C-alpha cells in the first residue's frame, strides 16, 4: 500500500482534474447550462472534503488487514466519484452538442 501522504495527493490530483474540466467547459462553451456545471463542481468539492477526512480516520487501526481493506475501499470510492462526475459533465456537454 502506498503512504497516506501519497493517497492524499492522488485524491487532490484526481478531484482537481475534474474541477479543471468543469471550469474549462464553462470558459469555452457558452451554450452549456452554467448552473448544472457549477452544481457538478460543488459536488466534487464536497466529495473531495469527505474523502480527505476519510483518509485521516481509518477503521481498525490495530488490525493491518482492516486498515488495508479500508484504504482499498477508499481508493475505489475516489475513482468511482471522479468517474461519476466526469459522466455527469459529459452528459451536460452532450445536451448542447
In the chain, where the domains are located? 4-96
Asked whether the predicted pLDDT for residue 1 surpasses 60, the reply is no
The rounded radius of gyration (Å) of the Cα atoms in the chain is 16
pTM comes to 0.90
* Range 74-77 contact pairs with CB under 8 angstroms and sequence separation of 24 or more: 74/7, 75/7, 77/51
pLDDT at 62: 86
Asked whether the predicted pLDDT for residue 59 surpasses 90, the reply is no
Quote the percentage of the chain above a pLDDT of 70.
98
pLDDT (mean) for 45-68? 91
pLDDT (mean) for 22-43? 95
Amino acid at each position: 500500500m502506498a503512504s497516506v501522504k501519497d493517497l492524499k495527493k492522488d485524491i487532490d490530483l484526481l478531484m482537481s482534474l475534474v474541477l479543471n474540466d468543469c471550469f474549462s467547459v464553462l470558459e469555452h462553451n457558452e451554450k452549456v447550462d452554467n448552473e448544472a456545471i457549477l452544481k457538478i463542481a460543488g459536488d466534487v468539492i464536497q466529495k473531495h472534503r469527505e474523502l480527505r477526512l476519510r483518509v485521516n480516520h481509518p477503521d481498525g487501526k490495530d488490525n493491518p488487514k482492516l486498515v488495508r481493506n479500508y484504504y482499498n475501499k477508499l481508493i475505489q470510492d475516489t475513482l468511482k466519484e471522479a468517474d461519476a462526475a466526469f459522466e455527469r459533465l459529459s452528459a451536460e456537454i452532450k445536451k448542447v452538442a
